[in-house]
Structure 1
């Protein structure tokens, strides 16, 4: 074996190839993107006079919010209690209902007609923002936590069902073949060969969805679907900016704590 030539011109560092190899096409796409941004900003009806007039009002709102007022902590506790109840119930219902839809939407274990139905349900569940769905449920069942629970349950089905279906499609098929060779039926294969393989992923997704639903419960409450969001909107409606800012600070603190706990649990599981 001969040593490499000291005068070799071979590169010693690796350079990542561009995403689009053709330089003409790459430059053309960049130019199109720049032209589109200029056109979009130029065609949108920005009212710069109104924006400049709104800056002093925004400054008054921020100045009126400090220091935050925690005197009415009973309203805070009631609102957060309702938000936690909405998030927990919606997560439990959503994760439970997402399992059969995930099985239906997994191409490797579901026949094509069932697969199409399962995918359609998941796609519809993920098609609309929770606020839009909350408005529909508020109109259907009235103001209150029931609309929030239904909204976030549908939201959970779309998110968890999609990822669980993808996880099922990536399982070790050898365990399924072994169960089939032993004469096991479809239900037995699901419970003893499929579900055990996706259980860690399912627990991690459940924790993530609980964290997400806790954040979303504050948002859907703004349109009347229960939770701390309704308390926040009432505070802004009464011009109680100091109380509203107290609510915002508590929401940030609770979400940070929830995200930390959720991340720790997911790290332990995965």
Structure 2
């Protein structure tokens, strides 16, 4: 093969990729026209957004007691939902791991986990609000379902990646199922489990502020009420408090990860 032919083969254009990009571009243009997206609407929205931000300044922290009450409720929802979700996810992940459980067990359990992950937590929160009423219980239940759908899947995938040599060695000693889990499985995945748990807690802190908008408790309800009253300076105070809470949680979780390394 000549050098010219080799260069031509090495740098041959990927026509399939180019065609796919053109199809994607054409679909984007078509979808934008169907949805009524235009630069005029974007420009109008930017102007309205600027006026909204102007009404938020300066933030009003005079009702700090109401703000603190909502933030504490959101924090309680997040912590409780994370703890329950993790406790439920641990046995489910072992049953869903295909290297530890037979297919006739792992398959249905994975189906349950997929169902928990299928619906957005806000939709689940609406369902729980309709079923058990307004309040923190509905928000906690919704975030437990969301946590199980996420954490159980990650736990199961982490277990499937372990080395089976340690599992077989512990089994060869005649150890039971629990001893195999504690001495062969958990030591290999404990650091990843801790990372997943901290991430889920951080995620639930953000999510707990949103479920309150649909009546599931937390600071979200206070935020939604402030929006309905056009009380935008108090809205700014709530948003700044939520941002501060998330930053604080990120700092604490980062230090915990560093301490466990």
Q: Which runs of 5+ in 1 are unaligned?
A: 1-8, 10-16
When residues 116 and 22 of structure 1 are mapped into structure 2, their CA distance, relative to the original with a 3 A threshold, is farther
Contact 1:204 1:265 in 2 (8 A): no
Q: Does 1:143 align with 2:143?
A: no
Alignment-derived partner of residue 220 in structure 2: 229
Alignment-derived partner of residue 154 in structure 1: 145
Q: Which runs of 5+ in 2 are unaligned?
A: 4-9
Q: Would you say how many aligned residue pairs link Structure 1 and Structure 2?
A: 253
1:263 shift after superposition: 2.7
1:195 shift after superposition: 2.0
1:54 shift after superposition: 5.7
Taking structure 1 as the reference length, the TM-score comes to: 0.87
Alignment-derived partner of residue 115 in structure 2: 124
Correspondence for 2:89 among 95, 98, 104: 98
When residues 22 and 69 of structure 1 are mapped into structure 2, their CA distance, relative to the original with a 3 A threshold, is same
Taking structure 2 as the reference length, the TM-score comes to: 0.90
Correspondence for 2:187 among 168, 192, 196: 196
In structure 2, how many angstroms separate the alpha carbons of the residues matched to 1:44 and 1:234?
30
Residue-by-residue CA offset, 1:219-259 (whole Å, 9 max, x unaligned): 11111110010110111111111001110011111112212
Alignment-derived partner of residue 257 in structure 2: 266
In structure 1, how many angstroms separate the alpha carbons of the residues matched to 2:229 and 2:94?
49
Alignment-derived partner of residue 167 in structure 1: 158
Residue-by-residue CA offset, 1:79-132 (whole Å, 9 max, x unaligned): 011001000000000000000110111000001111011111111111111111
In structure 2, how many angstroms separate the alpha carbons of the residues matched to 1:40 and 1:46?
9
Correspondence for 1:208 among 185, 190, 199: 199
Q: Does 1:64 align with 2:48?
A: no
Pick the structure with more helix per residue. Answer: 2
Q: Does 1:242 align with 2:237?
A: no
Q: Secondary structure at the match of 1:194?
A: helix
When residues 110 and 53 of structure 1 are mapped into structure 2, their CA distance, relative to the original with a 3 A threshold, is same
